[in-house]
Structure 1
């Protein structure tokens, strides 16, 4: 949902969001390094095409937890050469590519206005003083003067962002941002310093978590609905990061690196993460590439072990029904049932959310309930996304540490 601000609030917004330059504390990160703070928005990284020189992007993202000193993370994880950003700004989005007057502020990196990110690495901006509100649309504007080679980003954003030639990052008007795009480029995380005791949950998943079949530009992915619940709840978990990739698998690369191969970068490196919410496996099951229930269970066990070793709780979610999808058959259904029995009863997870039980039809448990079906029999619509978020026990997201699983 678009955050809208009356013109009279422009000055206030400017005071709240990034009022001035600050002391340099930028930090380059490796696979698992992270700054102090809590992630308020995140998106999984992948290769999204080839770069164009003298290109600008105004990237619109929706925050979860409020906080101070916002920082952004720029990623060149899939680049094969360094990429330079010579101008980066952030401001509150008013509508379209237009920003709230007075809110757009320059970001720096170790005090410098430009930064070069080596191939395979990420970089964090210096924190910007002032408050970043919860549930607001943040527009991060970046310019790359001579970029070339593979671009790191997120293909299926389910959010309209903007692009153009030349450097218009400092402009609050949307006039120079005539091109639209449904992808995010280079930006993969925004974090804030939140109140003491505040943490975050990261949703690790595939296209269902990514939001396919939900309404674009309305923040109706199931993690978005979960974020809204958390904002109203008496819980220390307030941040939500969506690390879904359409087509992603647990044990094999393909549509992005597998969950096993991207866990460190997309999940464990994020600041303030207390819980990993694992909802993935349907693409492994339906691919018919020889992946067995034992293979998938082994992948889950490794993910849980590594997350626990990093001090994170892990909530496991059962794999939803997909009868009616072209790749469904009885053999795939048998694997799904075996995998779901493991998730429900093994005790490997700190808690379990039974998405299968929420989504399935009482008349044909292998098929999604029609009222939740986005039309392709595998991806829920907005109602299904909300039902999934509503099924999450919020207390399960704030567990004290590795412990026994729970049955639904």
Structure 2
């Protein structure tokens, strides 16, 4: 069991969300090598600093898992969580378990000669409709003459790349200034283009309600993380008062966290991140809970090519929610997040990058995750 802390500086391409500047892309990769030479890859630690996740794997979880007589994903997951739940129910340790779980599924698929999606129960689709995440901030202030034309140009570029769905960022600026950005994107792309917004939990419920009204007027189809993840009452208030579907969950962990989110009536769309919520094993359980509450699942993706490939396999196994004769992306069929900010860890890490084709991304077909890692790229960005 090996861990790799990767950091790719972005230089002048840094960008901002409502919460932080992004001067680099980082992640924590795990490589498992079996006694017969097979290799499985997993990922975690791409939200905050990856070093704590590395320590959790190296110092706590590796000795536990390497001593198991059966390291299949289900056995490994429950053992790892059971032995760390007293101090690790959320955050670093669950991210570490996520990375190991993904790597175990990859390894298991290679051992059996089958894709992870087959082992998870089978695919409903061979490709997944993608939405582009863009419309970030290039500055922390607002200058209409500078920012609105650049935003319009970027939005038109995403449409030109083949996207039919775009998610833009809100929340860094006062509501009335972000409202101008929202209207600029709508006017640029037209009324038939599907638009989503992500506040990265920047608002209290009152401000989120004001922004939600703006998004409703502009015909947006999703309002992601409008309030802090701890504010369950705020989520429920917004969901009861807005017509735009409310999404959240990228900062939630395990079936237990999502159980509470669903029972409180917080979201129309759940967004577990496979590299954060507990891995592929736990995402299956979260999806089952979501189905029981008639909540759509649209996995969040933020990481390297390993994260994207794992999310593609997960998306391929999700049924329509609710079932209908015709699949409609986002309305009842899952879609995949395809971030448009610079990300060498996604675009360069795999020997065959995962790319957009006619607005979709193909689910890898090979054994395990179906992707191969370029070790030269790993070493290029490795710092620990």
TM-score under structure 1 length normalisation: 0.28
Of Structure 1 and Structure 2, the greater strand share is in 1
Of Structure 1 and Structure 2, the greater helix share is in 2
- Relative contact order, CA 8 A, sep 6+: which one is greater? 2
